[in-house]
Structure 1
Amino acid sequence: MSNSTLTVGFVGLGDQGLPMAAAIAGAGYPLRVWARHRGSLEQLADTPHTPHDTLNGLAMSSDVVCLCVNTDEDVHALVTGGLADNMRRGTVIVNHGTGTPAQAIRIAAACRARGVDYLDAPVSGGRAGAEARTLVTMVGGPTEAFTRCKPAFLTFSSSVIHLGGHGAGELAKLLNNTLMMMNQANIADVLELADHFQLDTRALIDVLQAGSGTSAALGMMAAGATTTPPEMIAHLHEVLLLDMNLFEAAMRESDAPATTLIERGYAGAHRVPQIVETLSR
């Protein structure tokens, strides 16, 4: 299916969704957008797109509708609030947000009852990755729907990976987030020990980044420590805790043996301000 024959709808023009939508349009896909607040559409002034006054209108005119909203509850409300009922049979709804596998399965069932396919396709990389078009997109859902949508995902991603059925994309995202936070806990432990020995912290970071102890978490912490405003650090702290809440809920819901990962992940999320403070000296 060529770019000119796949019409993509988009809902959620926020910090990450806006550059994702712009990337889709920039690659030649007809872009349809709807927003609760018309002011949000002004950010697409320089991007080819067709705005819709109603969610139903967007649904009827789209082959694929990508959602980049805050919570599973927001996704479910959109899906059952007119989106799935007004899309043609065989079209696809895609959730790019972070949620739980169980909720992805429930939302997929609501879509299936209306003859619409569903993919959970959370992304990793934040706004910077969306702008650079280097997001990692993790997808759960039917292979045929994934194959149809993958070219559109590649407009904003450097890697698009199909992991299995509904919920697999969300599980992969939660595991990825938790591993990052576990790495942050390790970084905090190492820096605390370095302080005990009065080791030059910045020099140590240079060693760790160049050596086998490096990680994406270390790179992000080192790069942002001296340039990120305190209010952004506080926001990041809140976001990481929300991600851990989702991971814990998913593990409890499936009765998974994940106590160690949950505890270590929370430790990493809570200690981000400590890491930044140490690296900012």
Structure 2
Amino acid sequence: MTTTATFIGLGVMGYPMAGHLARAGLNVRVWNRTAAKAEQWASEYQGTACKTIAEAVEGADFVMTCVGADKDLVEVFEGEGGIIANAPVGAILIDHTTASAGVAERLAAAASKRNQAFIDAPVSGGQQGAENGKLTVMCGGPEEAFARAKPVMDHYGRAVNLMGPAGSGQKTKMVNQIAIAGLVQGLSEALHFAEQANLDVAKVVDVISKGAAQSWQMENRSGTMIEGEFNHGFAVDWMRKDLGICLEEANKINATLPVTALVDQFYADVQAMGGSRWDTSSLIQRLRKFR
């Protein structure tokens, strides 16, 4: 029988992720807070736009979510009209939102009471990765449920890994965002220094990208950073949300994150400059402004 997968949340990530499931031949249902977005998706892909969450998840084998933050997850998962109350026994609930480990643990416990499995599965790779089906997916949840869910997530993920029990996926995503924050700030300072030194910045990048300084950020963002183009990619607002989650978790587990806390404040400066929706690589604009 054809696998039924429901996708809740059709933003810049969820929209193409659900599309990959439809292209793979799954029976896909979608729901979005803005109904027009779900109808638009259904006009582009083979699938069904549903009017309510209850309708969307009825009889589903898998339910994927990709929404905004903890409060949005609670809203779509809990309550009489939510996912947990209306998805069938045995369903596997997979959340791709970047959220707190605490809410993942809370939803996993609630799903377990209904004999459903919950997997927190935040992703990395941005909009481009979602559109190309090459996301990195970091999962937390039961091994048996993950084994069943992995072939489905493989339709939009190039690396889908189980990191441990519920909450482990979110904690791994925090590690990812902490690393990125430091890398982008370092790259911004390097390019800014090259500019101030009157070097050919593109030529400098070409040279140093062949050595130990190479990174994904350098390969994929240095060109637009040099040109001052930031109307693409992962927004500063989203990064600040993620770094807030990281810093809150760090306080809980007694981890010290001085660079992360500093870069978070640098992103606040970018927001104050009007760059809330700029790509995270826009940190360099702060240096250009305050030089």
TM-score > 0.5 by shorter chain: yes
Rounded Cα–Cα distance in structure 2 between residues aligned with 1:105 and 1:261: 28
Matches within 5 A, 1:2-17: 4-17=1-14
Rounded Cα–Cα distance in structure 1 between residues aligned with 2:266 and 2:153: 30
Count the aligned residue pairs: 274
Rounded Cα–Cα distance in structure 1 between residues aligned with 2:197 and 2:227: 27
Rounded Cα–Cα distance in structure 1 between residues aligned with 2:243 and 2:93: 26
Calculate the aligned-residue CA RMSD, in Å. Answer: 2.4
Once the two structures are overlaid, the 10-residue window that deviates more, 197-206 or 83-92, is 197-206
CA contact (8 A) 1:221 1:276 kept: no
Rounded Cα–Cα distance in structure 1 between residues aligned with 2:266 and 2:186: 8
Matches within 5 A, 1:47-62: 47-62=45-60
* Matched residue, 1:43: 41
Once the two structures are overlaid, the 10-residue window that deviates more, 256-265 or 41-50, is 256-265
Identity %: 27
How far residue 214 of structure 1 moved from its aligned partner, in angstroms, is: 0.7
* Matched residue, 1:144: 144
* Matched residue, 1:266: 264
How far residue 102 of structure 1 moved from its aligned partner, in angstroms, is: 1.6
Q: Aligned pair 1:249/2:258, yes or no? A: no
* Matched residue, 2:209: 209
* Matched residue, 2:100: 100
Once the two structures are overlaid, the 10-residue window that deviates more, 178-187 or 204-213, is 204-213
Rounded Cα–Cα distance in structure 2 between residues aligned with 1:184 and 1:9: 35
Q: 2:30 aligns with which of 8, 11, 33?
A: 33
Rounded Cα–Cα distance in structure 2 between residues aligned with 1:189 and 1:229: 17
* Matched residue, 2:276: none
* Matched residue, 1:20: 17
C-alpha spacing 1:67/1:274, structure 2 compared with 1 (3 Å): closer
How far residue 195 of structure 1 moved from its aligned partner, in angstroms, is: 4.3
Once the two structures are overlaid, the 10-residue window that deviates more, 105-114 or 188-197, is 188-197
How far residue 101 of structure 1 moved from its aligned partner, in angstroms, is: 1.1
CA contact (8 A) 1:185 1:267 kept: no
After superposition, what is the alpha-carbon deviation per residue over 1:187-239, rounded to whole angstroms, capped at 9, x for unaligned?
23323443454333222111122222111122232143367755558x82222
After superposition, what is the alpha-carbon deviation per residue over 1:41-61, rounded to whole angstroms, capped at 9, x for unaligned?
213313111222221122212
C-alpha spacing 1:36/1:259, structure 2 compared with 1 (3 Å): closer
CA contact (8 A) 2:189 2:284 kept: no
How far residue 68 of structure 1 moved from its aligned partner, in angstroms, is: 0.8
How far residue 268 of structure 1 moved from its aligned partner, in angstroms, is: 6.7
The alignment partner of 1:204 has SS state of helix
TM-score norm. by structure 2 comes to 0.85
Structure 1 letter corresponding to 2:104: A
After superposition, what is the alpha-carbon deviation per residue over 1:27-72, rounded to whole angstroms, capped at 9, x for unaligned?
1111011223321121331311122222112221211110010112
C-alpha spacing 1:22/1:201, structure 2 compared with 1 (3 Å): same
C-alpha spacing 1:160/1:265, structure 2 compared with 1 (3 Å): farther
The alignment partner of 1:166 has SS state of coil
